[in-house]
Every structure is written in C-alpha cells, then in structure tokens.
Chains A and B, each alone.
Chain A
Amino acid sequence: MALIEKTIQELAPLIEKKKISPVELVNACLLELSATEEKLNAYITVLEEAALKSALQAEQEIMQGEYRGVLHGIPYSAKDLIYTEGIKTTGGSQVLKDYIPDHNAAVIERLTRAGAILIGKNNLHEFAYGTTNENEYFGPCRNPWNPLMIPGGSSGGSAASVAAGSSIFSIGTDTGGSIRIPSALCGVTGLKPTYGRVSKYGVIPLSWSQDHIGPIAKSVWDNAAVLTAIAGFDAKDPASANVPSDDYKALLCETDIKGMKLGICPDYYKDVLHPEIEQAFWQVISWFKECGAIIQILDYPLKENIGFTGIITMGEAYAYHEQFLKACPEKYGSVVRRRLEKSQYIPAHTYVNALRLRQQDQEAWARIYNEVDLVVLPTTIVPAFPVGTGKIPFGGEEVDPRIHNTLTYLTALSDFNGYPAISLPCGFTSERLPIGIQFQGKPFEETKLLQTAYLYEKAHTDKRLMPHMADGYVR
C-alpha cells in the first residue's frame, strides 16, 4: 500500500518507530498533489517549501526522541477560510485574494503544537456560502471519483484532497453541512463536533451561531485523533464551551451496539431520497438491527422548519459581509453575491423568530435524546452531480442546487441544534459515486458518536476506498 493510501492510524507508528520519515511522507503527498491538481483544483495555495522545511524539523525531533504524538509529521491541508499567519487566506474569494493574516487560527496553532505539517490551503465554495464548490474566481473544485462531478461543499477542496491522498487529513468548516456533504460525496469521513467544542477563533465566519470547525480524514480513528488535538476551551472564541474533552481515539473500542437505541426519521426524507441512497441507508439500518440495536422511528424533525437555519445564516452573513458589499460588490461571484444581497431584506423580527424556533428545536431534540442514543440519517439526498448543473430533482419538482437547500437538507439540522454529527462512507451508486451515512449524537458526547461509527466502519472496510482503486481515476 502506498504511503498516501494509509491512515494516520497506520502512519503514526511507522513515523514513531522511524520506519518512515515525515519528509518521505510530505514528498509523497506533494507528488500526488502535483499529479492530480490540474484536474481536481483542490488547493488555492500549496506550501511546498514550508511543508518540506517543517517535515525536516519533525524528522530531526523524532530522531532525537522528541516524538509529540500521532499527528507528529503528518501532512494536512486546511480550508482557505482558516487564518494562517503569513500565508494567504482568501476565503475562496477575489474580495480577500491578497489577504495575509498576522496570526494563526486556534485550530492551526493546536495542530502545529501537535506536530502536524500544513501542506496547503484548500479550495472552497466562496466564503463557505454554498455546497457545490463551483468557485467563480478560483475555479471549480472537482470530485476525485469522477472529475466531471462536484465534490460537494463548502469544504470541497478539503474532502477532495483527502480522497485523492494529497493530504492525510484536512480541516473544514460546517454551517449547513459543509464538512459532511463533501465527505459523503468524496467517500471520506468528516466530523462536525458539538457547537463550541472546537475554537472558531481565526476562522472567517459565515454564520457565527452555526459555524463549526472539524476534521475530514480517511477513517473514524483519524477523525478521533484530530479531534483530540483540536478540541478544548479557548477564551478567544466567545462561543467556546468550557467542557472537558477526551482522548477520543483511545476510547473507540469501548462500546457495544447490542441494546443501543437508534432513532430514524423516515417521514423527513420520504420522497426526496435518491433510490440508491435510500437502499444504502436501509442496508445500514439492517446491519444495526442484526447487531442488536433497537430502531425507533421519530416524528421529528419537521419539514416546515427547514428554512429557519437559512434565515439565521442570511442575517449573520450579511452583517459580516456588509462592508465588503458596500466597498467592492463586483468582486463577489454572482451566485454568492446573489445570496448575500438577498439577505439584507430579512426583517429583524424574522431573524429573532428563527432563534425562537431554534430554542423550541433544541428542546425537542433534548426530549428525543432521552429516548435514543443516536440518530441515523443519510448524509445527502443525492450523490455527486456534474459541475454546472442548474436543476436537480427534489421530491416532485426540480430545483437549482446552487441556491436551494437540496444538499443541506439532512445536515443543516445538526448546525441548527448544535449537536455533533459524523458522515462516513456506506456504499456506492451504480455510477461508482460514494454514498455517506450520518450519525448525530448528544451534545459533547462525540465519544459515543465516534465509537458507533468506528464499529460500523470496522465491519464495512469495503466501503472505505480511495478513488484510484476505482475505474476512471483522475490520474
């Protein structure tokens, strides 16, 4: 198995035992990046020189017995929404195309302390306000499983780079599903932690009260390892929760599916699921039943509530972008500008009513979680579709996926209530496009979420592949 195909779980012991060098690993990722980037466009900035310098330093530290832990010497990438000191941070927009922050985001600081090596900044949907990653200034990012297809977004470059093997993990953000959607469409695993679990300090906001930071990686164990490094209170982020965090990777095996209560909400996605996604979903549920889980059908969430998360995003996004929209509106891509401009017409009382619904929603979920341990959902209602698609089916109608909440339909609910959720691969369509399954857990109980996902993953290793193992890989 090539180095870039390995997980952090497989690479870390090799690095610790000095069987491979971080320099060797960074070089392997850079080689893959140069081989795939022309077709994928997963990066806005590549940090070849700096990454190799950091790798050399990591190698020296490890040779001197100063091994810092499982992320030491592991190359990663970060969505270009995340501040990096002295390195361009564009937000995926012409508006900030030359912006160089003078400090790192908290998440970058923590990863640097853990010894991880930043290899590049990933392409994204402009300012994270969209799910197709059709970036009008930097160009569309494409799906490694089929470069004609979108990777999903907004953290599309992050998921595409991990799927292609040009980074071992990536850091994304999730306001309506932007970690989980591209993870599902690119066949990798992405975690949106509980709101407040990971500091947002130094991350360009889309919606302050719904933004989350989290990892995208090849496996559940890798997500657990990255979360362990980045979780924790940060006084610089007013939303940061002062809640103890765990060594999540160390706790992965300590659970049993037998007797576990899983909630499903078929009424919510009835008539909108792609048939092959629906089939894959019920196969997952059957597996859990066979393992002794108890499946409970929920009559929540309610379809009529779906637009409320968008109202909160609209109000908060316009507040952030107002000055840029006044100063240089022409620098925005047309689709994102259209969405932002519309946001100025949301009345204050409508925004407040959306927050009132969120209160009601959080109370409803709290009651549900008195009865179930986790909720299981498909991650998306459709698989990846071609770049440039203007109409896709949604129930009985056709909608524009660049504007309509088609791709966030099953993910935004966890940004609205703030609960943790993970997406991992659960199969493929007949066109060899990945399908994702999603687990949502109780607030600050990422351990249970990761444990369950880990057990599912261990029993379904055939679902976790890299695209170059498939026909039609981009290289």
Chain B
Amino acid sequence: MEVTTLRAITTQISGRNIDDFIEKHLPEYALEINELLQAVNFVSRNFPLELSPAPTFALKEKNHYNNT
C-alpha cells in the first residue's frame, strides 16, 4: 500500500484525523502492511474454494475436534 492510500483510509474509512503520530508512522505502516498482506495472499491463494472461516466463537462441544 502507498502512504497516500493509508492516509485516505485513515480519514475517509476510519473517520480519523491525521495527527503527527500517524503521519510519522505511515511509511512504516505501508511497508509492514504490504509484507503482511503478501504473506497472507501467499497462503490463501491455495485455499480450497469450500474452505469457510472458523466460527469466531468455536468450541461448543467437547468432541468438536475429535470428530473432524
């Protein structure tokens, strides 16, 4: 992501003001977010289509995993 993109997300999507702290860190965020997204994309491109998200609150039963 570009710094300009992050700046736009901050104000237009997050509804935040850009202060000195955020502005100062945007170049680091841009670099780190790019690395993170690339890592996720690398793994997720091999996901089978039928793979659904894990429920946010899973483990309701003791045998939830043992039955898999």
Contacts and interface: CB of A to CB of B under 8 A. Distances in A.
Contacts of A208: 56-57
Contacts of A362: 54, 58, 65, 68
Contacts of A330: 21
A415 to B, nearest CB: 12
Nearest to B47: A356
Interface stretch (A99-107, A133-141, A304-312): A304-312
A358 B65 CA distance: 13
A356 B37 contact: no
B60 A242 contact: yes
A137 to B, nearest CB: 16
Interface string A292-326: 00000000000011011011000000000010011
Nearest to A322: B14
Interface string A28-60: 000000000000000000000000000000000
A359 interface: yes
A269 interface: no
B43 A444 contact: no
Interface string B28-68: 11001100110110111001000111101111111011101
A263 interface: no
Interface in B1-33: 1, 6, 9-10, 13-16, 19, 21-22, 25, 28-29, 32-33
A355 B59 contact: no
Contact of B59 (A196, A350, A352): A196
Determine chain A's interface SS by DSSP, over half rule.
helix
B65 A443 contact: yes
* Residue of B19, B29, B32, B58 with most partner-chain A CB within 10 A: B58
A342 B59 contact: no
A307 B39 contact: yes
Contacts of A338: 25, 28
A238 interface: yes
B6 A442 contact: no
A346 interface: yes
A366 B56 contact: no
Given A243-B61, A311-B36, A369-B65, A344 B9 contact: yes
A352 B53 contact: yes
A356 B51 contact: yes
Contacts of B64: 443
A443 B29 contact: no
A442 B6 CA distance: 41
A366 B55 CA distance: 16
Contacts of A307: 36, 39-40
Contact of B37 (A238, A241, A243, A350): A350
Nearest to A364: B68
B51 A195 contact: no
A40 B68 CA distance: 46
B59 A356 contact: no
Contact of B39 (A209, A304, A367): A304
A337 interface: yes
A345 B29 contact: yes
B1 A345 contact: yes
Given A304-B43, A344-B9, A356-B44, A325 B59 contact: no
Contacts of A366: 65-66, 68
A202 interface: no
Interface in A338-360: 338, 341-342, 344-347, 350, 352-360
B57 A345 contact: no
A206 to B, nearest CB: 14
* Residue of B21, B39, B54, B68 with most partner-chain A CB within 10 A: B54
A342 B30 CA distance: 9
* Residue of A342, A354, A360 with most partner-chain B CB within 10 A: A342
Nearest to B64: A443
Given A195-B58, A304-B43, A326-B16, A341 B36 contact: no
A346 B39 CA distance: 13
Given A341-B25, A360-B51, A444-B62, A239 B44 contact: no
Given A241-B59, A326-B15, A369-B66, A355 B53 contact: yes
B6 A345 contact: yes
B53 A356 contact: yes
B29 A342 contact: yes
A303 B22 CA distance: 31
28 contacts: A209-B56, A209-B57, A241-B61, A307-B36, A307-B40, A311-B36, A311-B40, A338-B25, A341-B22, A342-B33, A345-B1, A345-B6, A345-B29, A346-B36, A347-B37, A355-B53, A356-B44, A356-B53, A357-B43, A358-B54, A359-B51, A359-B52, A361-B54, A362-B65, A367-B68, A370-B66, A443-B59, A443-B65
Interface of A: 194-196, 208-209, 238-239, 241-243, 304-305, 307-308, 310-311, 322, 325-326, 329-330, 334, 337-338, 341-342, 344-347, 350, 352-363, 365-367, 369-370, 418, 442-444
